[in-house]
């Protein structure tokens, strides 16, 4: 059975597109057939994060307005041959595609793919409403920062109003050292405030920046803690029970510190 998952956040810059790229690669690594749809029309970026920016011929708008069949617009990933990108237009705007068109497209894609991940634009305007329309499941990305948490709460409310029942949370860019000092909200705090199911917490990791520079999602880097966190999320999305990384006084980080004598 195929699943349509929208990755959304409200606030910009919290890591929606990075998360979409990493989850897509992670699911494809497991042999799933995955298509990633960029719906941030006018501000296209998912192609860059996947290293596919030079291979785009057609875009989402060409497909939804009927100019080309979707198979012509899909860009196959260089390394993972079950991973495809449907890029959006960099020149048109968010009104160029509507809810019905995206729902119809996703229904077509369901026949061929296990997972359809939709990268949502920031904000709560029409672009957001269009992006969530076709989704069975929503993943809200936030950061341990008051403005990002407040915006996540707003988005969760909007998803509820749109009758989305399966909503999950990813807390991105946690800084373990600040959490330990009591200077940063951790996953449990955010869990308590937003009261929705958390499926992942990702530590801030310089390797995310370097891998983004290269167009290779960090999930493939086995030396990266963020990569490990993303692999855990992919497992949870696939229905596995995987314990959460611990950033507080016991567990993984303390052991790591002991080993390296920090």
Partner 1 sequence: MLESIMKMFDKTNKSSKEVARDRLKVVLIHDRANISPEIMKLLKDDIIKVISNYMEINKQDMEITLANDETSVALVANIPVNRMKHNYGILR
Q: Looking only at residues 3 through 22 of this chain, which bind partner 1 when binding is defined by CB under 8 A?
A: none
Please name the residue that has the structure tokens 């988005």. Answer: 155
CA distance 42 to 92: 6
CA distance 152 to 11: 7
Give helix then strand counts, H and E, for the chain: 12, 8
Selection from 185, 186, 230 nearest residue 208 by Cα: 230
Selection from 216, 218, 214, 238 nearest residue 228 by Cα: 218
In the complex with partner 1, the residue whose CB is nearer, 70 or 247, is 247
CA distance 105 to 96: 14
CA distance 65 to 73: 12
In the complex with partner 1, the residue whose CB is nearer, 145 or 168, is 145
In the complex with partner 1, the residue whose CB is nearer, 4 or 190, is 190
In the complex with partner 1, the residue whose CB is nearer, 139 or 184, is 184
Interface mask toward partner 1 for 117-136; x: CB under 8 A: --------------------
Q: Looking only at residues 137 through 196 of this chain, which bind partner 1 when binding is defined by CB under 8 A?
A: 146, 149-150, 153-154, 157, 179, 181-186, 189, 192-193
Q: Looking only at residues 187 through 246 of this chain, which bind partner 1 when binding is defined by CB under 8 A?
A: 189, 192-193
CA distance 260 to 237: 33
Strand duo 3-8 + 137-142: pairing: parallel
Least distance in angstroms from the C-beta of 77 to partner 1 = 39
CA distance 214 to 228: 19
Least distance in angstroms from the C-beta of 150 to partner 1 = 6
Least distance in angstroms from the C-beta of 244 to partner 1 = 18
Least distance in angstroms from the C-beta of 187 to partner 1 = 12
Number of residues that bind partner 1 (CB under 8 A): 16
Least distance in angstroms from the C-beta of 186 to partner 1 = 8
CA geometry: angle at 37 spanning 34 and 41, to 5°?
170
Least distance in angstroms from the C-beta of 164 to partner 1 = 17
Give the residues lining the site for partner 1 (CB under 8 A). Answer: 146, 149-150, 153-154, 157, 179, 181-186, 189, 192-193
């Amino acid at each position: 059975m195929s699943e349509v998952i929208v990755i959304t956040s409200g606030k910009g810059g919290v890591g929606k597109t990075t998360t979409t790229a990493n989850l897509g690669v992670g699911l494809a690594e497991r042999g799933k057939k995955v298509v990633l749809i960029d719906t941030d029309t006018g501000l296209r970026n998912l192609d860059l994060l996947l290293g596919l920016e030079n291979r785009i011929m057609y875009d989402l708008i060409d497909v939804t307005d009927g100019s080309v069949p979707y198979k012509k617009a899909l860009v196959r990933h260089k390394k993972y041959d079950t991973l495809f990108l449907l890029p959006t237009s960099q020149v048109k705007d968010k009104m160029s595609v509507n809810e019905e068109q995206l729902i119809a497209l996703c229904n077509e894609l369901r026949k061929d793919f296990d997972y359809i991940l939709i990268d949502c634009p920031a904000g709560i305007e029409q672009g957001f409403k269009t992006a969530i329309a076709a989704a069975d499941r929503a993943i809200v990305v936030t950061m341990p920062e008051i403005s990002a948490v407040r915006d996540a709460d707003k988005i969760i409310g909007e998803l509820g109003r749109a009758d989305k029942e399966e909503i999950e949370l990813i807390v991105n860019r946690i800084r373990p050292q600040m959490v330990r000092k009591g200077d940063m909200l951790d996953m449990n705090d955010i869990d308590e405030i937003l009261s929705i199911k958390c499926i992942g917490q990702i530590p801030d990791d310089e390797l995310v920046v370097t891998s983004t520079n290269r167009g290779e999602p960090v999930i493939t880097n086995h030396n990266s803690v963020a990569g490990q966190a993303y692999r855990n999320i992919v497992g949870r999305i696939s229905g596995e029970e995987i314990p959460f990384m611990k950033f507080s006084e016991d567990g993984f980080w303390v052991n790591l510190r002991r080993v390296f004598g920090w």
